[in-house]
Structure 1
Amino acid sequence: MSKAVERDLLALAGLAVSGLALASVMSARTPQPRLAPPRRAIAARRDGGARPVTVSAARKLNTAAGTLAVSVLADSTVEHYRGSFKNKAMYAPLIVSALTLATSLHGTADMRPFAHKARDATYLLAAATGLLGTGFHLYNIGKKVGGFCWQNLFYGAPIGAPMAILLSGLLGFCSERVRETDGPRRRPEIFRLPAGRAIAAVVGAGLLGTSGEAGLLHFRGAYHNPFMMVPVTLPPVGAALLMSAASGRRGPEHRLTRWWMRLLALMGFAGVGFHAYGVSRNMGGWRNWSQNILNGPPLPAPPSFAGLALAGLAALGLMREHPDA
């Protein structure tokens, strides 16, 4: 069997595994009915009368924040290990993203309609870590010879990487604000803004930033594979659709936007398979995995699109159930 055939089979296997993982997740989740099941309704009344839809939306946002945290944890571990943890601050995103992941899992399992102070503190810590990390990466690039030139932007510390943990913290913080909505008639709000529209705007901005980071690194790779155009073209369209939903009239279903978010989630999982194929194309392939994982396309990066898409779906669901949100 030729090496070209081996590479193609490996790529197809990676895509198949990613597709099966996504299919299992989608099949395990049954559609949420408009009317809550009796047990949930009884629990909601017992806990203070909050509408189950706000708890459901909050849990979906916790899942989205956790997906981003997993991506950051794996990506920062690989990239900072490659940098030999020369600066002790490089351990910070690993610790914070692990805490954020644990917090998100706790929030996803929590059925109570109350915000949690420990979760709030962790999400705010994640957001602050993302801001500080962006400053560190900008400083790292600026101090190199040539400053902010293409060479340093390509091979220096990635500017957009710390923003993923910032987005994870923001989405998690928003989930707690949605969860603590009081009473069935009060609209979910974040800093007195309608929660659904505010989250849609945040996710739209995040999609644009993540797509820009992918565009920069794929430009470094000369777009030698046509599929490298996908994360540069599909997410900006999704961002525009979300921005339109955030600024549009109340009550529409936004069917196209929903399907586009599902497409972006699929793209995020499938991207792992494409990056695995990119790793296999380096010298030695997966037999030389300890070197090629460090130097090949980052395997944990594409799921960040899936995390943002899940948050977009949560925002759209909240806007559907609360037309004034």
Structure 2
Amino acid sequence: MAHTRHHSQFSLGVTLAIFAAVGFSAKAIFVKLAYLVAPIDAITLLALRMAFAVPVFIAVAIWSSRQQHAKPLDRHDYLLIIGLGFIGYYVSSLLDFMGLQYLSAGLERLILFLYPTMTVLLSAALFKQPILRKHVIALVISYAGIGLVFAHDLGHQSANMLLGASLVFASTLSYSVYLVGAGHAINRIGTIRFTTLAMIVASTMTLSHFAATHDLGALQLPTRVYVLAAAMAMFSTVLPVFMLSAAIRLINPGRTALIGSAGPIATIFMAYLFLGENIGGLQIAGSVLVLCGVLLISWRK
């Protein structure tokens, strides 16, 4: 009986990790499709995504704060939530959405997937953690892979491709800063509670940004844009966040991260199916190098 229960929990955890990886990967597809439907800018689309997602996060935050084990938050906790919500979800998401205006969905996902390499470098710079030989090898492999995919996309992308890659790289860097600080915050506040509160902060900042820079006429958009924004909020924001947390609890972070490494490949194939993006030998080779480099740098004995 115990073996059967363990097997079913493991199967559920793997399933949730797969769906979370695909959900996160589909975000770039939703964004690119919305850009094709109407001349919408990054902050408007991001505001729509957050507007659809934030009610769920508010409900979960209220629920988590009422749990018996939930401790009251102090000033330090609020500063962590505001600071990390700002850098990790507001700044990172805005830069990512801006970059996707000029970049293929496949290359965007691969650049975002470099965050473990940046986390290692940031930890070395901020906390004097040593950079091992395997880290150096992983960095060389990963960035060589990005170079190959970049070379592949040069023949198919706009003149602003370098700008788009720079914006997404900056997005990845800001998310890496968030990850470096999030471990401490999660230990103090709890995974679900911290994530929902940080998302509420980011949503508030995004909607305030939109209100300060746009009038209501900017919301006169085709219905399909709203459908895509709502789908992105549910299937690429809310559900993957909770699926990922549940998968980590059921099958441990290492296995969850290993399954999540399939995300960039999923994005490349979805971009081929839904956006008509080309898949070439350089892109496949570069993707394999990036995946190998990230897995090497994330490997724990």
Structure 2 length-normalised TM: 0.30
Kindly indicate which of the two structures has a greater share of residues assigned to helix: 2
TM-score when normalising by structure 1: 0.29
Greater RCO, 1 or 2 (C-alpha within 8 Å, sep 6+)? 2
- Which has more radius of gyration? 1
